[in-house]
Amino acid sequence: MTTSEHPADLERSLTGHSVGWFEDSTLVIDTAGFAAGVLVPHPGVLHSADMHTVERLSLAENGTRLVREYEVTDPQYLSKPYSGSSRWDRSDIALSVYDCTELSGINNVRPAPPE
């Protein structure tokens, strides 16, 4: 949250590298440094390592709705920016404990099958 620049030597990854800052009360998230892959699995929209995303998160409806607006650019696969938005309303349902199993990292390491 202290810079709007990506490092020149960033390592490309599935989730890219994000920087963020506030523009008034809107959080802007700028992500670059993606490894080439699939943007939307079905029907299979590919993206290159040049993909760049900008997301803007803000509150609307008197603070009861979170709004996410986004724009994706990729000169190799998209002829124009791909943009859209998502909205989530605040819920009156209290948070509850959920006993989930984390399936990433060390929890997802499986023993080798017997030979």
* Per-residue pLDDT tens over the stretch 72-99: 999 999 999 999 999 999 888 988 888 7
Q: What CA–CA distance (Å, rounded) separates 51 from 46? A: 10
Structural domain boundaries enclosing 58: 17-108
- Is 113 a domain residue? no
- Is 5 a domain residue? no
Question: Which residues 6+ apart lie within 8 Å of 34 measured at CB?
Answer: 12, 13, 14, 15, 16, 47, 49, 51
Query: Which tokens belong to 75?
Result: 């000169």
The pLDDT of residue 112: 77
Q: How many domains does the chain have?
A: 1
pLDDT digit string (tens) for 5-59?
A: 888 888 998 889 999 999 999 999 999 999 998 877 667 788 999 999 999 999 9
- Burial of 17 (C-beta count, 10 Å sphere; 0-12/13-18/19+): middle
pLDDT over threshold 70, residue 104: no
pLDDT digit string (tens) for 55-75?
A: 999 998 788 999 999 999 999
- Is 3 a domain residue? no
- Is 48 a domain residue? yes
pLDDT over threshold 70, residue 105: no
- Is 44 a domain residue? yes
- Is 65 a domain residue? yes
- Is 12 a domain residue? no
- Is 55 a domain residue? yes
